[in-house]
Amino acid sequence: DTGVSQDPRHKITKRGQNVTFRCDPISEHNRLYWYRQTLGQGPEFLTYFQNEAQLEKSRLLSDRFSAERPKGSFSTLEIQRTEQGDSAMYLCASSLGTFRGPRYQETQYFGPGTRLLVL
């Protein structure tokens, strides 16, 4: 399967614990995004990488959250001192920008997500 993969698919943790999620993007994709999705809502942007550089972080990404993409391939998202409000689906997406004629086009492909439940 050459799609975006995420691990683990589910995580249950107690409040105050640290958790780390992994995302493996489609191999040739240079951009990698993290989104958070709560029940009944659309995904919300958290952060994104171009190759190994983290270029933007949402205000949703508090100082308890950190993301890395050390070699421009897989990425990790760590949440420290988890809170019940962190319970959500964490989605990873990857993309490769291409030009169609003069126009730049980019489509993001999403992984299956990691569902986090903080007790």
Q: Which residues bind other proteins (CB under 8 A)?
A: 4, 6, 31, 33, 35, 40-45, 48, 55-56, 91, 93, 95, 97, 103-113, 115
Our CB check for other proteins shows the closer of 13 and 109 to be 109
Our CB check for other proteins shows the closer of 57 and 80 to be 57
Whether 4 and 23 have beta carbons less than 8 Å apart is answered as: yes
Our CB check for other proteins shows the closer of 10 and 15 to be 10
Q: How many CA atoms lie within 13 A of 83 on its CB side?
A: 5
Q: Residue 115 and residue 111: Cα distance in Å, rounded? A: 12
Our CB check for other proteins shows the closer of 41 and 62 to be 41
Amino acid at 88: A
The distance of closest approach from Cβ of residue 72 to other proteins in the complex, given in angstroms and rounded to an integer, is 17
The distance of closest approach from Cβ of residue 104 to other proteins in the complex, given in angstroms and rounded to an integer, is 5
The distance of closest approach from Cβ of residue 38 to other proteins in the complex, given in angstroms and rounded to an integer, is 11
Q: Residue 2 and residue 13: Cα distance in Å, rounded? A: 30
Among residues 93, 96, 70, 90, which one has the least CA distance to residue 13? 90
